[in-house]
Structure 1
Amino acid sequence: MDRGFLFILLLIALPAAAQIYKYTDTYGNTAYSNQPPDGVKAQPVELPPLNSVEPQSPGNPAQAAADNREQSSNAYELLELTGLPTTEALRANNGTFTVNVQIKPRLQGSHLLRLLLDGQPYGQPGNVPTLQLVNIDRGEHRLAVQVIEGEKIVQQSPATTVTVQRVHTP
């Protein structure tokens, strides 16, 4: 049984140590083979050593866990405001309207959504993806949403410009 195992091991190891030959075929094309062809001048090809990867020794496990938490806290692949007109003014005669937040994956446990109006926090942070604005002046405003954890900003959406139209009746 030991001889059979040794023979199988030798058969497996032989292809790894096989030589490669380079030659020109009858059509003038460069060809490669593991056996030199009969009657054709073939040159052995010297191959560079195979790539190898050394096992990494584990670093500080606490730091690795902290890095993983930091990466998971920035794991929102989609964070944007929706439900806003982009080509026309938003009609809100009393200045009140809602915006929706599209977020993927779902909001994580301790994270909250905070609306930014013209670069300043607006309203109270919450975990509901529908945000209401009240008595907003007419004109152009920039809106964005932030994901926060305590006072730390985890991620922020791109700002969206919206023009609020309020009809004034005397």
Structure 2
Amino acid sequence: MRLTLTCLLLALALPAAAQIYKYTDANGNTVYTNQPPDGAPSETVKLPPTNSVEMQAPSASTADTANTQAPKAAYSLLQLTDLPSEEALRANNGTFSVGVQLQPRLSPGHRLRLLLDGKPYGQASNLPRLQLSNIPRGEHSLAVEVLSGEQSLQQSATATFTVQRVNTSSPALRPPVPTPKPAP
């Protein structure tokens, strides 16, 4: 409302302020001014109308296509590293770390978070080295996603790997039971 009122007042004042006078001063210089000179002959300068452009409302089809386009990937390279591809990952306590390779570097405000078996794992971090703890033995899938706040911006390809842990209940790992000695 205030902006409309200000524009209206300026529009009303524009014709009064737009009057330009031209005259020659005592030194023979041509002078242009918005005030008529005292005691000097002057002529009114007629100005051409100013250019104006009306703002066009965006068409519905343009707005729809802007909202339906897939967001552009922020990173040209986003992948997990340090995972075995052919053999099992040996981690007796189920703790290991993986690397994240990305290009360009991680932008400020972006964080990395792992997706273990399709579910978010651990806290988001800005470091390209992420740790997993106490992962049970067996086959798992792992991916990394880039977050901005809580919104997922991009996700890497999913890697499948197998965790191999020592079975502590195996008879081979039990200490030998001493055989009783015959009594003398």
Find the aligned partners of 1:137 and 1:75 in 2 and give their Cα distance. Answer: 33
Alignment of 1:148-159 (within 5 A): 148-159=147-158
Q: Corresponding residue for 1:94?
A: 93
Identity %: 62
Q: Corresponding residue for 2:33?
A: none
Find the aligned partners of 2:78 and 2:124 in 1 and give their Cα distance. Answer: 15
1:2-40 deviation per Cα after TM superposition (whole angstroms, max 9, x unaligned): xxxxxxxxxxxxxxxxxxxxxxxxxxxxxxxxxxxxxxx
Q: Corresponding residue for 1:128?
A: 127
Is residue 137 of structure 1 aligned with residue 136 of structure 2?
yes
Instruction: In structure 2, give the amino acid aligned to 1:127.
Output: N
Instruction: In structure 2, give the amino acid aligned to 1:115.
Output: L
Q: TM-score, normalised by structure 2?
A: 0.53
Alignment of 1:34-53 (within 5 A): none
Find the aligned partners of 1:169 and 1:151 in 2 and give their Cα distance. Answer: 40
Give 1:150 shift.
1.1
Alignment of 1:11-50 (within 5 A): none
Find the aligned partners of 1:154 and 1:143 in 2 and give their Cα distance. Answer: 17
2:113–2:147 contact (8 Å) kept in structure 1: yes
Q: TM-score, normalised by structure 1?
A: 0.57
1:119-156 deviation per Cα after TM superposition (whole angstroms, max 9, x unaligned): 00000001000000000000000000000101211000
Is residue 81 of structure 1 aligned with residue 59 of structure 2?
no
2:110–2:126 contact (8 Å) kept in structure 1: yes
Give 1:169 shift.
2.0
Q: Corresponding residue for 1:5?
A: none
Find the aligned partners of 1:139 and 1:112 in 2 and give their Cα distance. Answer: 28
Find the aligned partners of 1:154 and 1:129 in 2 and give their Cα distance. Answer: 16
Instruction: In structure 2, give the amino acid aligned to 1:122.
Output: Y
Q: Which runs of 5+ in 1 are unaligned?
A: 1-58
Q: Which runs of 5+ in 2 are unaligned?
A: 1-56, 170-184
Instruction: In structure 2, give the amino acid aligned to 1:100.
Output: G
Q: Corresponding residue for 1:163?
A: 162
Find the aligned partners of 1:128 and 1:85 in 2 and give their Cα distance. Answer: 21
Q: How many residues align?
A: 105
Instruction: In structure 1, give the amino acid aligned to 2:87.
Output: E
Instruction: In structure 2, give the amino acid aligned to 1:92.
Output: A
Find runs of 4+ consecutive structure 1 residues off by over 2 angstroms.
none
Find the aligned partners of 1:75 and 1:142 in 2 and give their Cα distance. Answer: 23
Find the aligned partners of 2:109 and 2:168 in 1 and give their Cα distance. Answer: 45
Give 1:168 shift.
1.2
CA RMSD of aligned residues (A): 2.2
